[in-house]
Each structure stands twice: as structure tokens, then as C-alpha cells.
Amino acid sequence: MNVWLQENSWDEVEVLKEKSGGVIVIPVGSTEQHGSHLPLGTDTMVAMMLAEDAAKKTGIPVAPPLWFGWSPHHMVLPGTITLRPEVLIEVLYDVIESLSKHGFQKFVVINGHRIVNIPWMQISAERAQRVLGVKVVLFDPAYMSKEIVPQLGYGPVGHSEEIETSHMLYKHPHLVHLEKAQDNPVQKHELYSVDPAYPGDTLCYVPSTIKDMHKSVDAAGGTTGIPSKSSKEKGQIYHDHVVDNLVKVIERLKI
């Protein structure tokens, strides 16, 4: 079975839809700098590989990926592409609306871009639910790995850190240049953290300014975290954990 919608013809989609219980996955990521050791497309690839594996296990289709996200802060380094969140809200809404007209009624939006894509997805998802009468859930690996990450001995969410790097080592090893990775441990700030598992009092996330990003870029070429701790094996454990959660979410929606 080919789970990617774009590789099926319309009559094959009809068959897929029947099997799917009306559930479809939409992978969304970003094209943004990921240090010198990971490719710009890491976030989209993450969303795609989670989507693909869970889709195969559950027999549901996956929509073509959206390679662009909200990345204003990563514009500090070349190759980053950012769409305005107001535009992204409309893109996702139109994708959901189109698919809903063909009978898909339950949408799992995978965010490979962690935290930053969530705000516009929430706005888009609420409108889709209210106007189209569909169900939309937002699945973000950073929120879906709060339990496994400390077990792997990995630190808080950074950028291109050991979590993302391990994950890419498992699935796209040829695109990872571990020898170019720079460590830059996540620093503790009072009342602030981008890690969704942070237990203390905290301000809410706002993407950094370019000026602030320059500091972190100067420190480690765009990386925050300790990529040197990465391993393919832990990447697989992490992947399987998140895919398991995704399968659970899909199975529950199929009913």
C-alpha cells in the first residue's frame, strides 16, 4: 500500500478513504537552518517520516507535505524560508476544506517544526472544526515525547539538538554531517523555557528576534543543545515512541 495521497490516482484514493475511517494525516514542517550538521528540511522530513510509518500501521493516507512553516527567527541564516502565519492559517484551512469535501472528516496535523507552528495551526484547526464540522487534532513530537526524552538521557528541547539529530540519523543518515555538529547546551533562564515539559513558572513562547538569534548563531552556528550525544539507536527508540503515540491517536479517531 502506498500511503502518500499524491502517489495514488483518484480511484485508489476512494479505496484508501473507505479503509481510513475518514482519517487522514497532514505533515507540516519548515525549511529552516538546522545548524551545519542537519539539512534545512529536517522539520518537514520529521513530520513525513512519523506520518508515513503511522499511516502504514493504520492503513490511512497521508497528504502531500507542506515544506514551509513559520520561521521568522531562523531567517538569520541562509536557506530559511518563512511564511507569514496569517498565510499558513489559510493554507492549512484550504487543504482541510478540500479533503473534507471528498469525505475525510478527521485530520491529524503533524507539526515537525515544534512549538513555532502551533499558534497558526490552532487558529486554522478551530476554524475548520467550527465551519466545516470536522475534527482536527494537532500532533507535535515535542509534546509527544515528554516521557521518552529524559529516559534517553537527552536534555530539553533546543534546536538541531540530540533529539532531532538522533531522529535524522535513524531515518536519513546520509543527510546528517555529525562531524560538523557543534554543542551548545541549553541555558537556563529564570521564568523562561521553550521546552513543553518545563515544570517551572514561565513566560509564553514568542519567536526570538533576529538580533537575539545572532547571539546563538555566533555561539554554535544555529544549534542549541548537545548533538554530540546523538545516536541512531536512540533515534529509533524516540521515533518508535512517537509513532506509537501517533498510532494511538489515529486508532482512536477511526472509531
Residue linked to cell 499558513:
88
Stretch 134-153 residues interacting with its own copies (CB under 8 A)? 136-140, 143-148
Stretch 41-100 residues interacting with its own copies (CB under 8 A)? 41, 44-45, 63-68, 72, 75, 77-87, 89-91, 94-95, 98-99
Given phi > 0 = left and psi -120 to 50 = alpha, else beta, which region is 23?
A: beta
Minimum Å gap between C-beta 167 and its own copies is: 16
Minimum Å gap between C-beta 86 and its own copies is: 7
Q: Does 102 engage in binding with its own copies (CB under 8 A)?
A: yes
The helix/strand/coil state of 82 is strand
Q: Of 50-58, 161-169, 202-210, 232-240, which segment contacts its own copies by CB under 8 A? A: 202-210
CB-CB contact of 64 with 254 (8 Å): no
- Please name the amino acid found at residue 87: V
Q: Angle 176-120-98 (CA atoms, 0-180°, nearest 5)?
A: 95
Choosing from 3, 21, 46, 111, the residue that interacts with its own copies (CB under 8 A) is 111
* CA distances for 27 relative to 17, 39, 110, 235, angstroms: 17, 17, 5, 19
Q: Of 9-17, 52-60, 162-170, 227-235, which segment contacts its own copies by CB under 8 A? A: 9-17
The helix/strand/coil state of 145 is coil
Minimum Å gap between C-beta 232 and its own copies is: 19
